[in-house]
């Protein structure tokens, strides 16, 4: 199993409705990516103060690396990814991706 963890620094001007629309678009990929098991998303709620400005994020759980790799190249994921890049502070610099294998 792979957990695809994506942490985001949204631009200050991004409204909560736009964040939710992005998370919904990611979750909808479950309909077109077999083996995409779960999506969790939302704001960072850690009290530690160690977020480095990545105050929002999502985690996608995949059956395996093959499913993750299919997801990464899927046209709908590419479109959502572009939307995320435009919504984050500094574009790609506002995104941190960390994948865990189980």
Rounded to the nearest 5°, which phi and psi values hold at 44?
A: -70, 130
pLDDT of residue 102: 87
Taking only Cα atoms into account, the Rg of the chain, rounded to an integer number of angstroms, comes to: 13
Q: Give the C-alpha separation, 36 to 102, whole Å.
A: 15
Q: Which residues of the chain have pLDDT under 50?
A: none
């Amino acid at each position: 199993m792979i957990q695809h963890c994506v942490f985001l620094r949204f631009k200050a001007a991004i409204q909560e409705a736009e964040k939710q629309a992005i998370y919904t678009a990611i979750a909808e990929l479950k309909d077109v990516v077999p083996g995409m098991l779960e999506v969790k998303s939302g704001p960072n709620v850690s009290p530690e103060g160690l977020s480095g400005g990545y105050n929002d994020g999502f985690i996608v759980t995949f059956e395996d690396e093959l499913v993750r790799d299919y997801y990464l190249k899927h046209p709908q994921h590419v479109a959502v990814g572009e939307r995320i890049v435009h919504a984050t502070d500094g574009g790609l610099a506002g995104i941190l991706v960390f994948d865990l294998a189980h």
